[in-house]
Chains A and B, each alone.
Chain A
Amino acid sequence: MQAIAEGLFTDEHLPRLVGGRNVATGRVVFPCPSGSDFEPWPLRREGTLWSFTIQRYRPKSPPYAGPDAFRPWAVGYIELADETIVEARIVNVEFTDIAIGMPLELTFVPLDPAAADPVMIHAFQPIGLGPKA
């Protein structure tokens, strides 16, 4: 898997997001900041939807690196219990079925599905669909 950036995801069978844990306060953030105040902290893979919206127009490039052909996508904030609330795409669910409080799990999707060797971004999907859904 070609990740959109280095150090964002763990290298394991079911990769996790690499957050950062403040060594002094225990506060967890994503992504892991550089410097010595935070240590890498793999985040739990399951959470609940905290809020969301639908991105209905193509973001400007730069900085957006997605395909020119635009289809709306869902984006939300997912609460990972006791850790942090992370921003990510919401995938493999109809827009009208997305609801605050729904359980979600981490997955990865191509930024450009049509690319030959696409870069992968993190996303969340309804629990139980499996990694290849």
Chain B
Amino acid sequence: MSDVCIVGVGIHPFGRTDGLSGIDQGVFAVRQALGDAGIDWPAIQFAYGGSDSAGNPDTMVDRLGLTGVQFINVRNGCAAGGSALFSAQMAIKSGEFDIGMAVGFDKHPRGAFNALPSEYNLPDWYGEAGYMITTQFFAAKIKRYMHEYGISPTSLGRVANKAFRNAVHAPHAWRREPVDIETILEAPMVSDPYTKFMFCSPAEGGVALILASEKKARELGKPIIRLKAATMRTRPPGSFEVFAPSLDVDRTPGTPRGSATRIASADAFRLAGIGPDDIDVAQLQDTEAGAEIMHMAENGFCKDGEQEAWLAEGRTEIRGQLPVNTDGGCLACGEPIGASGLRQVYENVVQLRGDGGGRQVPGNPKTAYTHVYGAPGVSAVTILER
């Protein structure tokens, strides 16, 4: 079975773009990706598109050309982009197609996500009482984690501070002004222990990736960047997830709770035939500062509690042992749901090609990792190799 390669990437800057719809931003990203791959739209044999709130992705054929292309829409919460990418690579791996596209875009209203209980198989009272709020869950989750593993508020501040510093050098990022750690820590609380700088915001943006078989990639003459693994998993028993009216009592104290992330990560490493120590750069879901911290452990890069030392020593900085969220992640880019997971892969392609400019990871990185997580307990992971 041939490897699947990423031969073109495109992005519409994240943030707020008044006057441009989500689809507009998706089309922008597709055209850029086609240009990057050196092909025209009719060469695309299939597409998977993810969007949560900005309309059906397949309608973009109006704009790109009515070639009759197969175009499948994907709606899978925060894993929409990862799911589109997983599906796209399967289409090539199966031998059905040689070249196709995964695209994701979104455009959300300002303020917190407005989830409704019925969409998550929950009773109406749960929303009426004020519990359908992602920030609430994330805050309660990190509060417990800090208590169990000795993570300090300063570490939360370090993650946010790093995000905005890295984003200065990422043209597609939204919040590109550095914020000092004291300002971050002393800002108004949104949901304790998180201040307003420690949460990402719903946003807008679009990302497109062109995927091809290795044979096709060589014909195109592009640098070979292989998608060694793409996994998407749902939650195991006993996990603690967004929108949980109750969670199981821990029957095995001392061992971490299972999570969709742990499963998706372990499977991705198994498929790629490498381990966490072999990864040169990682983009980990950081919808809030503590998520990056917890996900460092859930993805196998360190043990629970070691993050305190890792952050104090700068090990996840661009020039550290494992650079994490080199474009500022969700904290600096915001979260357009359909595009967010694909942004991580975009950033990794940039890094593996050595095109990161001021945010380039030194030493010619050869392996790169992405991870997204979302309600109600879904996770998607990719591993790229140059």
Q: A residues within 8 Å of B by Cβ?
A: 4-5, 8, 19, 27, 29-31, 50-57, 59-60, 62-66, 73, 75-77, 79-87, 89, 95, 100, 111, 121
Contact of B112 among A5, A60, A73, A85 (CB under 8 A): A60
Question: B266 — which chain A residues lie within 8 A by C-beta?
Answer: none
Q: How far is the CB of A44 from chain B (nearest CB, A)?
A: 12
For chain B, the count of residues having a C-beta within 8 Å of the partner chain is 36
Q: Which of A52, A83, A121 contacts B129 (CB 8 A)?
A: A121
CB of B143, distance to nearest CB on chain A (Å) = 5
Interface residue from A4, A51, A82 paired with B249 (Cβ < 8 Å): A82
- The answer to whether B128 and A65 touch across the interface, beta carbons within 8 angstroms, is yes
* Interchain Cβ contacts within 8 Å, total number: 110
Min CB distance A73 to B, Å, is 8
A101 nearest CB neighbor, chain B only: B147
Point out which of B117, B123, B125, B136 has the most chain A C-beta atoms below 10 A from its C-beta. B125
**21 A-B pairs in the complex with CB atoms less than 8 angstroms apart:** A4-B125, A5-B123, A5-B124, A30-B245, A30-B246, A31-B123, A31-B246, A50-B144, A51-B141, A51-B144, A52-B143, A53-B192, A55-B136, A56-B189, A63-B132, A64-B129, A65-B129, A66-B128, A66-B129, A75-B140, A84-B248
**Residues of chain B with a CB closer than 8 A to A65's CB:** 127-129
Residue of B123, B141, B193, B246 with highest tally of chain A CB at under 10 A: B246
| A113 CB → nearest B CB, Å | 14
- By a CB distance below 8 angstroms, the chain B residues around A59 are 112, 130, 132-133
Cβ proximity bits B83-126 to A, threshold 8 Å, 1 near / 0 not? 00000000000000000000000000001101111000001111
A51 to B137, CA, bound (A): 10
A4 and B246 contacting across the interface, CB-CB below 8 Å: no
Give the distance in Å from the alpha carbon of A50 to the alpha carbon of B240 in the complex: 12
Shortest CB-to-CB span from B127 to chain A, Å, is 3
B191 to chain A, nearest CB (A): 5
Give chain A nearest CB distance to B241 CB in angstroms.
12
B127 x A77 contact (CB < 8 A) = no
Q: How far is the CB of B238 from chain A (nearest CB, A)?
A: 9
Taking CB atoms, residues of chain B closer than 8 Å to A76 are 140
- B249: which A residues are within 8 A, CB to CB? 79-85
Closest to A7 in B: B123
Asked whether any CB of chain A lies closer than 8 Å to the CB of B131, the reply is: yes
B141's nearest neighbour on chain A, judged by CB, is: A51
Residues in B whose Cβ lies below 8 Å from that of A80:
249
Q: How far is the CB of B386 from chain A (nearest CB, A)?
A: 41
Give chain A residues whose Cβ lies under 8 Å from the Cβ of B247: 77, 84-85
Q: Flag if A53 contacts B246 (CB, 8 Å).
A: no
Contact (A63, B128) CB under 8 Å given A51-B141, A53-B191: yes
Known: A56-B191, A65-B127, A84-B249. 14 other contacts (CB 8 A): A4-B129, A27-B248, A52-B140, A53-B143, A53-B191, A53-B193, A55-B191, A56-B189, A57-B190, A59-B130, A63-B117, A63-B124, A87-B246, A100-B144
- CB atoms of B131 and A75 under 8 A apart: yes
The interface residues of chain A lying within 8 Å CB-to-CB of B128 are 4, 63-66, 111
Whether the Cβ atoms of A60 and B111 lie closer than 8 Å is yes
A95 cross-chain contacts in B, Cβ below 8 A: 192
Report the bound CA distance from A100 to B192 in whole Å. 13
Contact check, B191 vs A54: say whether CB atoms are below 8 A apart. yes
Cα A86 to Cα B245 with chains together (Å): 6
B139 at the interface (CB under 8 A from A): yes
B136 to chain A, nearest CB (A): 6
Residues on B with C-beta less than 8 A from A87 are 131, 244-246
Are A55's CB and B125's CB within 8 A?
Answer: no
A19 to B246, CA, bound (A): 9
Which A residues are in CB contact (< 8 Å) with B246? Answer: 19, 29-31, 84-87
Which residue on chain B has the smallest CB distance to residue A57? B190
Contacts of B191 in A (CB 8 A): 53-56
| A88 CB to nearest B CB, Å | 9
Pair B245/A51 contact, Cβ less than 8 Å: no
In whole angstroms, how far apart are the Cα atoms of A90 and B124 in the complex?
Answer: 21
In the complex, the answer to whether A66 meets B130 with C-beta atoms within 8 Å is: yes
- Alpha-carbon distance between A55 and B133 when the two chains are bound, in angstroms: 9
With A83-B249, A100-B143 in contact, do A64 and B190 touch (Cβ < 8 Å)?
no
Partner among A29, A51, A86 whose Cβ is within 8 Å of the Cβ of B143: A51
- CB–CB A51/B130 < 8 A: no
Contact for A111 among B129, B132, B144, CB less than 8 A: B129
* B139: chain A residues within 8 A (beta carbon): 53
CA–CA, A46 to B36, complex, Å?
Answer: 61
Min Cβ gap A85→B in Å is 5
